[in-house]
Amino acid sequence: RNRNALDIYPLEMLIPMHSLSMFFQFFSSWLLLFILLTSYSGFAMPRVARLGRKLQLDQDIKSSSIPNTDVKIFYYSQTLDHFNYQPESYTTFKQKYMIYSKHWGGAKNNSPIFVYLGDEQPMEDDEIDSLILPDYAAQLKALVVIIEHRFYGKSKPFGMTSMEEVLK
């Protein structure tokens, strides 16, 4: 029969029981302290915005309607296939985007630029009225850019205008 260390020496001689119990007491107290600190720290720390304060909109700016003269519509020659670098893959299509720059402080003032990627629906000319970005733009002197999704509205790479054309 093979004998191991437990057959020769009792467990108490190999590892004194009081040292094991002290280890578990020490470990469990640190574990409890860690759990308490991590669960409480989220409530104790105030949330600080990038600018050092929480953003609060002025009442006269919030939910304002944007006149069409403040929004400019452009079309960009967008590459159809960004992952193929063969000469025949340089096909482009016109992608619609809008810029709202009424409150923009300019690049020299490090003013932010908000970019909104359009939903899976056509982008209407008054799309900016349904967003909260212009309200933040007025507060932060930001530029707002809204880009239409590439398969909706006027940004259709293959020029298809109806479901019948797609299914041909």
Quick check: is 147 in a domain? Answer: yes
- Shared domain for 23 and 101, answered yes or no, is no
Stated pTM of the model:
0.51
pLDDT, residue 163, reads 59
pLDDT, residue 61, reads 43
Quick check: is 57 in a domain? Answer: no
Quick check: is 54 in a domain? Answer: no
Furthest-apart CA pair in the chain: how many Å?
95
Segments of the chain with pLDDT less than 70: 1-24, 39-69, 125-130, 151-168
- Shared domain for 84 and 138, answered yes or no, is yes
With contact defined as beta carbons under 8 Å apart, do 70 and 102 qualify? yes
- Shared domain for 77 and 24, answered yes or no, is no
Q: Between β-strands 71-79 and 92-100, what pairing exists: parallel, antiparallel or unpaired?
A: antiparallel
Q: Which domain holds residue 9?
A: 5-44
The helix/strand/coil state of 11 is helix
- Shared domain for 152 and 75, answered yes or no, is yes
pLDDT, residue 122, reads 72
The closest alpha carbon to 138, from 63, 74, 68, 69, belongs to 63
Quick check: is 62 in a domain? Answer: no
Q: Which residues contact 80 (CB under 8 A, 6 or more apart)?
A: 89, 91, 92, 93, 157
pLDDT, residue 63, reads 44
Quick check: is 50 in a domain? Answer: no
Length of the chain: 168
pLDDT, residue 59, reads 44
Count of the separate structural domains present in the chain: 2
pLDDT, residue 29, reads 76
Integer-rounded Cα radius of gyration of the chain: 31
- Shared domain for 28 and 98, answered yes or no, is no
| Model pLDDT for residues 27-75, shown as the tens digit of each residue | 777 777 777 777 655 555 555 555 544 445 444 444 455 555 678 888 8
- Shared domain for 98 and 153, answered yes or no, is yes
Quick check: is 59 in a domain? Answer: no
- Shared domain for 97 and 162, answered yes or no, is yes
- Shared domain for 22 and 83, answered yes or no, is no
Quick check: is 63 in a domain? Answer: no
Quick check: is 55 in a domain? Answer: no
pLDDT, residue 126, reads 66
With contact defined as beta carbons under 8 Å apart, do 123 and 152 qualify? yes
The closest alpha carbon to 147, from 123, 121, 111, belongs to 123
- Shared domain for 80 and 139, answered yes or no, is yes
